[in-house]
Amino acid sequence: MRDLSLQCAGLAAIALALVHGVLGETKVFARATIEPARLRPIIHLVWQFSTVAWIAGGILLIMTPLVAPEAARRWIAATVGAQYLYVAIANAWASRGRHFGWMAMSAVIALAVAGF
């Protein structure tokens, strides 16, 4: 059951990352005015860095039960969980709890903790 929890956390992390990336490009950057224009590509890259990092964390969570020893399992779950905890708290604080992202990230954390 612990393995399934970690793998579900990984799948949820990847899904959340993809939603973040797509909504960022279609909703945020479609309306954003970034001046000077030369900064636009770097802002896109920084935004999508979190998408790539969350996908990598999701892959680690999915693969952990298959290849990692017990000590690595705990470190991977704790590290990815801490990453999501930071973002969930920041998201809840910045949006005053009105954005669904912190709740989705909390679900990933709960599943990772269950697989710990």
Structural domain of 31: 2-114
Q: What pLDDT was estimated at residue 58? A: 94
Q: What pLDDT was estimated at residue 116? A: 80
Q: What pLDDT was estimated at residue 11? A: 95
Q: What pLDDT was estimated at residue 27? A: 85
Q: Per-residue DSSP letters for the chain?
A: -HHHHHHHHHHHHHHHHHHHHHHIIIIIHHH---SSGGGHHHHHHHHHHHHHHHHHHHHHHHHHHHH--HHHHHHHHHHHHHHHHHHHHHHHHHHTT-STHHHHHHHHHHHHHHT-
Per-residue pLDDT of the chain (116 residues; tens, 9 = 90+): 788 888 999 999 999 999 989 988 888 888 888 888 888 888 888 888 989 999 999 999 999 888 878 888 888 888 988 999 999 999 899 989 888 888 998 999 999 888 88
Number of domains in the chain: 1
Q: What pLDDT was estimated at residue 70? A: 83
Q: What is the pTM of this model?
A: 0.86
Q: What pLDDT was estimated at residue 112? A: 87
Q: What pLDDT was estimated at residue 10? A: 93
Q: What pLDDT was estimated at residue 19? A: 93
